[in-house]
Amino acid sequence: MNYRMIRFILFQVMRIEGVLMLLPCLISIIYGDGEGAYFAGVAAFLIAAGFIGCKFLPKNQTINVKEGYVSTGLSWIVLSFFGCLPFWLSGEISSFTDAFFETVSGFTTTGASILSNVEELSHAALFWRSFTHWIGGMGVLVFLLALIPMSGGSNINLMRAESPGPSVGKLVPKMRYTAIILYVIYMVMTILEVVFLFCGGLNLFDSFCLAFGTAGTGGFAVRSDSFESYSIYIRWVVGIFMLLFGVNFNAYYFILMRQFKKAFSFEEVRVFVAIVALSTAAVFANIIPLYENGIMALTDAFFQVTSIVSTTGYCSADFDLWPTTSKFILCFLMFMGACAGSTGGGVKVSRLMILWKSVVKEVQSYIHPKIVKKVTLDKKALDNDVLKSTHVFLATYVGVFLASMLIVSLESRDLTTTFTAVLATLNNIGPGLSMVGATCNYGFLSFASKWTLCFDMLAGRLELFPILLLFAPSLYKK
């Protein structure tokens, strides 16, 4: 294994995190709260360490699949470890486990919090919490690829390991330009949302934090009641943007290239939009008896559906109080998640489509034993490798899910809590149901459960294998 290159990438990640951490320092200067000093200290350390570590560019810069997965897994752990230090050192979150949980939840764009009252946090800490969503949404290694020209083409393995979806490709021949294009689309959409929110009467700080949370499909709010005190306009803006960030970014690239036909013909995006529309209608019909006002019911139904399907996890209403049908629909959407190539989590619409089509194919093969039929997506036959990896992904996903549930179940909470705690973290959503529902938080869980859920969040964001690989004994054998 190319240890030198992995080390080099880790130092690069540290350096980038250090530079990004200067932003909360700036916020702290603007608002004059003292916690900025801790951010400045950690940032200084990261930048210094990063610069020294990056001095030694390895001769062999090949990143094979293995190196790609390992450095991605380790990068995210390093990122979360250093990211949580300011919370812990400043004492704003007193326990290290809690601080780590909160940061992992941030970077993995989960948005599950252990804090009961976020308004107590300093501005710098609040900003950093939301900003981690933005960094984690598109991925820090993709950011690295956009910034630093690296030789050779093997660094696509970094993007493959970090970007979600059954098969990851480039938009343009050069890796670096692909990464730059993705980040430019991401930034422009984020800024658009900030403008819309700001026009809706939110202050600039809240606009930025909410936009970061939406763009990364994270879900950390800046108020304890999440969205319940915001206007209908704000809810619709955020709802629409959550939907937009759940769409495969390749579609936006084609729109920019004026290839509208291609952009709107993505099978996955069409199915995604159709599912959102159907779910919204179903939830709306289901919850209307609870509301006096139809518009409010529609707003909440749409907001909650987009929030869950994009795996953001903002709450405009306490959906724990909704009828079981609505709760089930939301649980299904949690499981499904957003499109591949978006910033959302979950199993991904395209994987479910592939699985569904595989089932149809299997059924057909019982009726016509000699039938030749290939599973297609976007009118193209899928490679057997993609099919195989999708099936293996689902099996692994179920395995990780059950194992995590077993550990969390040791706390003897009710089954809904146990189930949705794992569901909401493994799919990077945030709020679950019952004791981890919209109005609650994860603070009460035991030490073991929190670390298990941290693992789930990382595994869910990186689509299992980069994290699972770190636990493979054969990796460490020479």
Partner 1 sequence: MSVFKTRPAGLKIIIVGAGKVGMTLVAQLSREGHDITIVDKDAAKISDITSTYDVMGCVGNGASYLTQVEAGVKDADLIIAVTESDELNLLCCTIAKQFSDCAAISRLRNPDYSRESKYLRDKLGLSMIINPDLEAAKVMARVIYLPAALEARSFAHGQALIVKIKIPEGNILDRMTIAELGAKITNDILICGVERDGNVVIPGGSFELCAGDVITIVATSKEQQSFLKSIGLVTNQVKNAMIIGGGRSAYYLSDILIKKGIGVKIIEQNRERCEKLNDLLPKAVIINGDGTNTELLLDEGIETTDAFIPLTGIDEQNSMLALHAKKISSAKLITKINRTGFIDIINSLDLGSVFYPMFITADMILAYVRARTAAPGSNIETVYHLFDARAEAITFKVTDESKVTGKPLKDLKIKDNTLISYIGHEGEAIIPTGNDVISKGDTVMVVTMHTGFDDIGDILE
23-61 CB burial, b ≥16 within 10 A, e <16: bbbebbeeeebebbebbbbbbeebbebbeebbeeeeeee
| Shortest Å, Cβ 441 to partner 1 | 40
| Shortest Å, Cβ 401 to partner 1 | 29
Separation between Cα atoms, residue 470 and residue 464, nearest integer Å: 11
| Shortest Å, Cβ 177 to partner 1 | 6
| Shortest Å, Cβ 74 to partner 1 | 20
Is residue 17 within 8 A of residue 83, CB to CB? The reply is yes
Instruction: For partner 1, give the closer residue by CB, 256 or 282.
Output: 256
Instruction: For partner 1, give the closer residue by CB, 223 or 262.
Output: 262
Instruction: For partner 1, give the closer residue by CB, 101 or 254.
Output: 254
Separation between Cα atoms, residue 406 and residue 418, nearest integer Å: 9
| Shortest Å, Cβ 223 to partner 1 | 34
Residue 377, phi then psi, degrees to nearest 5: -140, 135
Pairing of the two strands 380-381 and 376-377: antiparallel
Query: What stretch of H or E contains 380?
Result: strand 380-381
Separation between Cα atoms, residue 355 and residue 250, nearest integer Å: 22
Separation between Cα atoms, residue 294 and residue 121, nearest integer Å: 36
| Shortest Å, Cβ 275 to partner 1 | 27
Residues contacting residue 166 through CB under 8 Å, at least 6 positions apart: 340, 348, 350, 351, 354, 386, 389, 390, 393
Query: Interface with partner 1 by CB under 8 A: which residues?
Result: 64-65, 152-157, 169-170, 172-177, 180-181, 184, 188, 256-257, 383, 385
Return the HEC string of 241-274: HHHHHCCCHHHHHHHHCCCHHHHHCCHHHHHHHH
Instruction: For partner 1, give the closer residue by CB, 173 or 473.
Output: 173
Classify residue 255 as exposed, middle or buried by CB count within 10 Å of its CB (0-12, 13-18, 19+): middle
Separation between Cα atoms, residue 450 and residue 423, nearest integer Å: 14
Helix, strand and coil content of the chain, in percent to the nearest 5, comes to 65, 0, 30
How many degrees, rounded to 5, is the angle at CA 251 between CA 248 and CA 252?
Answer: 105
| Shortest Å, Cβ 165 to partner 1 | 15
| Shortest Å, Cβ 172 to partner 1 | 7
Instruction: For partner 1, give the closer residue by CB, 26 or 256.
Output: 256
Instruction: For partner 1, give the closer residue by CB, 259 or 446.
Output: 259
| Shortest Å, Cβ 354 to partner 1 | 16
Instruction: For partner 1, give the closer residue by CB, 195 or 204.
Output: 195
Instruction: For partner 1, give the closer residue by CB, 172 or 475.
Output: 172
Radius of gyration of the chain (CA): 22
Instruction: For partner 1, give the closer residue by CB, 65 or 274.
Output: 65
User: 3-state class of 137 per DSSP?
Assistant: helix
Instruction: For partner 1, give the closer residue by CB, 10 or 180.
Output: 180
| Shortest Å, Cβ 160 to partner 1 | 8
Tokens of 165: 């979806």
Instruction: For partner 1, give the closer residue by CB, 182 or 309.
Output: 182
| Shortest Å, Cβ 264 to partner 1 | 17
Is residue 166 within 8 A of residue 350, CB to CB? The reply is yes
